[in-house]
């Protein structure tokens, strides 16, 4: 078949800008995806024009070679076939401007269904998909009426089981409520919800006797209770925490507010899923959409349903829409998922249009610290030397020949550091990432280490998507990977890492240094996306010499 392209529109028909644009291509049975922000260097870039041209050029294609463009939108009814497909969030460029005829354009009629198919596709590729599967999709907004959606997948059919309603006069869904409180705390809604989640770890999440201030679960449906009216909601929140609190109050009342929000969210989701799990008896629970980035929620689900595998998605949020659009359209036409199981399905790969930069770069000294960032270019780098540098306190910057399609670095474009060294939390947050001190880091490990420190579990955690209570032994050995609440966000190496640098690094660290877990955080300087090319490492050098 001729190539297909999947993408999310950069703006709605009435001119509202979208965020997290990405383009995916289905070619010769494989899907490759590239977020726009990696190329534009603007974080949460909602455009797709740059990525679209880059993908086509990388494969030597032009617009006439593409059989079908599969598009999704959000926050509006599904547009008609002839509606303009905006590629820039200013509306100045459309697919039609580039000569694409309406009969090659397919608008997806469900934003949430695309999220569900992306999560299914990712699980199939890494070998964790078991049937039947229950898929829970939650984000700020999909098509009108899509806030939380529940699907069952049996391999032959994706069935919509239920969709949560909204209460008149209240915010719609988990995502809108989380975003409203994120803004109250002084951050950007839709973008900085991860800060709210991290802040919640500083306080007790118990909601007390007057629970259900933000969420309730009635008759199996999650309802958002915070009034839509801005003044009323601000007054309610101000009783718990002042708007845009000063730093000391942020870490006190702000943390208590975030913890209450997170605790109510987790309780509502568990209550909504429990009867479905009892009725369907799924073998895996997949979570998609923006809320799939909430690793605290996924960790709680794993604890609440210990006999069930719980997993997020490879590209949570709207960076996964291009992939999901292609998978959904392919499944609709052929009744099966595209291609064979491919551990790197969805990744953008070296040799598939990426001009990899193999030159050796000097170590980058970090201001105020006797440490360096050590560039690791390619999967054939010397793991023994790298392990020695890491064990001596340096930070490894990995740049492999494949690119993660989502917002999380999974070892291929990561900063890796020694989780035994508690001081590294300050170095990474204050000097390298220049972000809030309360932000935690993920812990990367092999399966045998995961079983040792967190206990055998049906959840595989391939996408760094579970924040789990850490054992006393793990806390003592690897304090830099422990959040204030005693949890650690875990990533377990799996099929996608076979033959990779990080797989060899962890083996060397275990055999030669007795180290079984390392810090893994995304390779990006302050306010920038994950780096796309080695030359961008100069951003770290400039940052640390200014």
Q: How many whole angstroms from its chain centre is CA 308?
A: 21
Which of 286, 299, 8 is CA-nearest to residue 137? Answer: 286
Three-state DSSP state, 20: coil
Residue 206 has what pLDDT? 60
Q: Look up residue 174 and give its two tokens.
A: 């988990």
Closest CA to 250 of 488, 422, 437: 437
CA gap 416, 480 in Å, rounded:
12
pTM of the model: 0.96
435 Cβ contact list (under 8 Å, min separation 6):
429, 526
φ and ψ at residue 529, rounded to 5 degrees: -70, 175
Contact 223, 164 (CB under 8 A): yes
Please tell me the distance from the alpha carbon of residue 153 to that of residue 118, in angstroms, as a whole number: 12
With CA atoms as reference, report the closest residue to 245 among 201, 187, 185, 182: 185
* Closest residue by Cα to residue 352 from 10, 41, 90, 28: 28
Closest to 523 (Cα-Cα) out of 501, 545, 496 = 501
User: What is the per-residue pLDDT for 183?
Assistant: 97
Q: What residue spans of 281-368 are helical by DSSP H?
A: 295-304, 321-334
* DSSP, residue by residue, 237-268: HHTTS-SS--HHHIIIIIHHHHHHHHHHHHHH
What is the pLDDT, as a whole number, of residue 359? Answer: 46
- Calculate the dihedral angle through the C-alpha atoms of 177, 180, 185, 190, rounding to the nearest 10 degrees: 100
- Domains observed in the chain: 4-111+319-343 (3.30.420), 173-268 (no CATH), 356-545 (3.90.870.20)
Contact between 18 and 29 (Cβ < 8 Å): no
Phi, psi of 330 (to 5 degrees): -65, -45
* Farthest CA pair distance, the chain: 62
339/344 Cα distance (integer angstroms): 12
What is the rounded distance in angstroms from the CA atom of residue 74 to the CA atom of residue 14?
12
Task: Tell me the pLDDT of the chain (546 aa) as tens digits.
Answer: 999 999 999 999 999 999 999 999 999 999 999 999 999 999 999 999 999 999 999 999 999 999 999 999 999 999 998 999 999 999 999 999 999 999 999 999 999 999 999 999 999 999 999 999 999 999 988 999 999 999 999 999 999 999 999 999 999 999 999 999 999 999 998 899 999 999 999 997 665 446 689 999 999 999 999 999 999 999 999 999 999 999 999 999 999 999 999 999 999 999 999 999 999 999 999 999 998 999 999 999 999 999 999 999 999 999 999 999 999 999 999 999 999 999 999 999 865 433 444 444 688 899 888 999 999 988 889 999 999 999 999 999 999 989 999 999 999 999 999 999 999 999 999 999 999 999 999 999 999 999 999 999 999 999 999 999 999 999 999 999 999 999 999 999 999 999 999 999 999 999 999 999 999 999 998 889 999 888 788 778 777 655
Q: What is the pLDDT of residue 367?
A: 86
pLDDT tens, 60-116?
999 999 999 999 999 999 999 899 999 999 999 999 999 999 999 999 999 999 999
For the chain, how many helices (H) and strands (E)? 16, 22
CA distance 515 to 531: 27
**Nearest alpha carbon to residue 444 among 405, 398, 485:** 398
């Amino acid at each position: 078949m001729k190539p297909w392209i999947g993408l999310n529109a950069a703006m709605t028909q009435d001119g509202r800008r979208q965020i997290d644009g990405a383009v995916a291509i289905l070619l010769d049975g494989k899907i490759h995806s590239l977020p726009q922000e990696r190329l534009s260097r603007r974080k949460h870039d909602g455009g797709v024009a740059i990525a679209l041209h880059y993908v086509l050029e990388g494969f030597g294609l032009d617009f006439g070679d593409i059989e079908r463009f599969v598009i999704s939108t959000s926050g509006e009814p599904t547009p008609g076939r002839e509606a303009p497909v905006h590629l820039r969030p200013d509306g100045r460029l459309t697919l039609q401007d580039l000569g694409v005829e309406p009969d090659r354009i397919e608008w997806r009629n469900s934003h949430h269904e695309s999220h569900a198919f992306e999560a299914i596709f990712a699980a199939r590729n890494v070998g964790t998909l078991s049937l039947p599967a229950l898929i829970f999709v939650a984000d700020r907004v999909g098509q009108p009426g899509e806030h939380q959606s529940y699907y069952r997948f049996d391999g032959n059919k994706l069935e919509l089981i239920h969709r949560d309603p909204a209460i008149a006069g209240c915010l719609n869904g988990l995502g809108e409520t989380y975003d409203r409180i994120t803004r109250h705390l002084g951050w950007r809604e839709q973008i900085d919800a991860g800060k709210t989640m991290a802040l919640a770890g500083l306080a007790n999440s118990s909601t007390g006797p007057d629970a259900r201030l933000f969420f309730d679960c009635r008759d199996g449906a999650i309802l958002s209770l915070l009034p839509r009216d801005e003044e009323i909601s601000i007054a309610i929140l101000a009783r718990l925490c002042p708007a845009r609190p000063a730093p000391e109050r942020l870490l006190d009342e702000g943390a208590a507010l975030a913890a209450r929000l997170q605790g109510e969210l987790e309780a509502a989701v568990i209550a909504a899923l429990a009867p479905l799990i009892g009725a369907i008896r799924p073998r895996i629970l997949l979570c998609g959409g923006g809320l799939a980035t909430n690793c605290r929620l996924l960790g709680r689900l794993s604890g609440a349903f210990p006999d069930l595998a719980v997993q997020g998605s490879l590209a949570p949020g709207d960076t996964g829409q291009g992939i999901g659009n292609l998978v959904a359209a392919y499944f609709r036409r052929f009744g099966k998922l595209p291609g064979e199981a491919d551990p790197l399905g969805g990744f953008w790969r070296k040799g598939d249009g990426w001009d990899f930069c193999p030159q050796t770069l000097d170590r980058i000294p970090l201001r105020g610290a006797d440490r360096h960032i050590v560039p690791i270019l390619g999967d054939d780098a010397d793991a023994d030397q790298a392990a020695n540098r890491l064990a001596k306190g340096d930070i490894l910057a990995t740049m492999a020949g494949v690119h993660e399609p989502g917002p999380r670095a999974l070892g291929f474009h990561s900063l890796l550091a020694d989780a035994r060294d508690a001081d590294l939390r300050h170095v990474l947050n204050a000097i390298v990432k220049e972000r809030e001190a309360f932000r935690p880091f993920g812990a990367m490990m092999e399966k045998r280490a995961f079983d040792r420190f967190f206990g055998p579990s049906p959840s595989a955690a391939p996408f760094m998507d579970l924040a789990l209570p850490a054992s006393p032994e793990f806390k003592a050995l690897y304090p830099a990977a422990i959040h204030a609440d005693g949890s650690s966000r875990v990533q377990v190496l799996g099929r996608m890492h076979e033959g990779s640098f990080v797989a060899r690094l962890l083996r060397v660290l275990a055999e030669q240094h007795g180290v079984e877990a390392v810090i893994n955080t995304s390779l990006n300087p302050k306010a920038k996306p994950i780096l796309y090319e080695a030359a961008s490492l100069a951003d770290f050098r400039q940052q640390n010499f200014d």
